[in-house]
Amino acid sequence: MPQGTSPYYSQKTHPQKNFTKPKNPLPSPLKFFIVLIELVDVSIKFPGARDFALKLVSLSIRQNEIIGLLAPSGAGKSLLGNLIAGFLPKEAIPCGKIIYHFSDQVVEFNLEQSPFHFPENIQRHIAMIFQNPQEALNPSMKCGKQITEALWYIKNKKNRKKKALDLLERVQFKQVSRAFDAYPHQLSGGQQQRILIAIALAKKTQLLIADEPTTALDLHIQFEILSLIKEIKKEENLTILWTTHDKSVMFDMADRVFDLEHHVFIPKTKRPKSLAPVTKPAYKEDKIILSVQQISKSYQQKKHRIQAIHQISFQLHQGEILGIIGQSGSGKSTIAKILSGIEKADEGHFSLAHPKEKNNIQMIFQNPATSLEPTMLILDAVQEVLRYNPPNTKSAQELLQELDIDESLFSRFPSELSGGQQQRVAIAKALAANPSILILDEPTASLDQATSVQVNSLIRSIAANQKIPMIYISHELNNIYLLAHNLLIIKDGAIIETGKTEDIFSHPKHEYTKILVNKYLGSIQS
Least confident residue range of 9-23, 442-456, 501-515: 9-23
Statement: residue 23 has pLDDT above 50: no
Statement: residue 525 has pLDDT above 80: no
Confidence of residue 90 (pLDDT cuts 50, 70, 90): confident
Statement: residue 438 has pLDDT above 60: yes
**Predicted pLDDT of residue 433:** 86
Secondary structure class of 277 (helix, strand, coil): coil
Residue among 439, 362, 434, 436 at smallest CA distance from 393: 434
CA 205 to mean position of chain CA atoms: 23
Confidence of residue 19 (pLDDT cuts 50, 70, 90): very low
432 vs 274, residue with greater confidence: 432
**Predicted pLDDT of residue 333:** 86
| % the chain with pLDDT above 70 | 87
Segment 359-377, tens digit of pLDDT: 688 888 877 777 899 999 9
Q: How far apart are the first and last CA of the chain?
A: 68
Tell me the average pLDDT across 16-44: 64
Question: CA–CA separation, 240 vs 233, rounded Å?
Answer: 8
Segment 39-59, tens digit of pLDDT: 999 999 998 888 888 999 999
Least confident residue range of 316-330, 380-394, 507-521: 507-521
22 vs 358, residue with greater confidence: 358
* For the chain, domain boundaries: 35-266, 319-344+353-523
Are 290 and 437 in contact, with CB atoms under 8 Å apart?
A: yes
Among 84-88, 319-323, 433-437, top mean pLDDT goes to 319-323
Residue among 233, 270, 275 at smallest CA distance from 252: 270
Statement: residue 324 has pLDDT above 90: yes
**DSSP label at 31?**
S
Tell me the average pLDDT across 129-148: 88
**CATH superfamily ID and name for 319-344+353-523:** P-loop containing nucleotide triphosphate hydrolases (3.40.50.300)
What is the spatial order of strands in the sheet that 304-318 belongs to?
304-318, 284-301, 347-352
Statement: residue 476 has pLDDT above 70: yes
Residue ranges of the alpha helices (H) in 343-474? Answer: 378-387, 396-402, 419-432, 449-465
Are 289 and 318 in contact, with CB atoms under 8 Å apart?
A: yes
**Predicted pLDDT of residue 12:** 40
Please name the amino acid found at residue 524. Answer: I
Segment 173-219, tens digit of pLDDT: 888 999 999 999 888 777 888 898 888 888 878 899 998 887 656 66
Statement: residue 286 has pLDDT above 90: no
Residue among 432, 431, 441, 486 at smallest CA distance from 462: 431
Domains 35-266 and 319-344+353-523 share a fold: yes
Fold of the domain spanning 35-266: Rossmann fold (3.40.50)
Tell me the average pLDDT across 5-30: 40
Residue among 385, 288, 287, 370 at smallest CA distance from 333: 370
Statement: residue 140 has pLDDT above 80: yes
Mean pLDDT score of the chain, rounded to an integer?
82
Secondary structure class of 39 (helix, strand, coil): strand
Question: CA–CA separation, 340 vs 334, rounded Å?
Answer: 10
Are 451 and 405 in contact, with CB atoms under 8 Å apart?
A: no
**Predicted pLDDT of residue 415:** 87
| % the chain with pLDDT above 90 | 34
Confidence of residue 249 (pLDDT cuts 50, 70, 90): confident
Statement: residue 270 has pLDDT above 60: no
Among 95-104, 245-254, 285-294, top mean pLDDT goes to 285-294
**Predicted pLDDT of residue 17:** 40
Least confident residue range of 25-29, 54-58, 99-103: 25-29
Confidence of residue 22 (pLDDT cuts 50, 70, 90): very low
Statement: residue 21 has pLDDT above 50: no
> Which residues, in sequence order, are CB contacts of 495 under 8 Å at separation 6+?
312, 313, 314, 488, 489
**Predicted pLDDT of residue 460:** 85
Least confident residue range of 270-274, 284-288, 377-381: 270-274
Question: CA–CA separation, 264 vs 40, rounded Å?
Answer: 15
Are 112 and 94 in contact, with CB atoms under 8 Å apart?
A: yes
Question: CA–CA separation, 468 vs 458, rounded Å?
Answer: 12
Tell me the average pLDDT across 388-401: 83
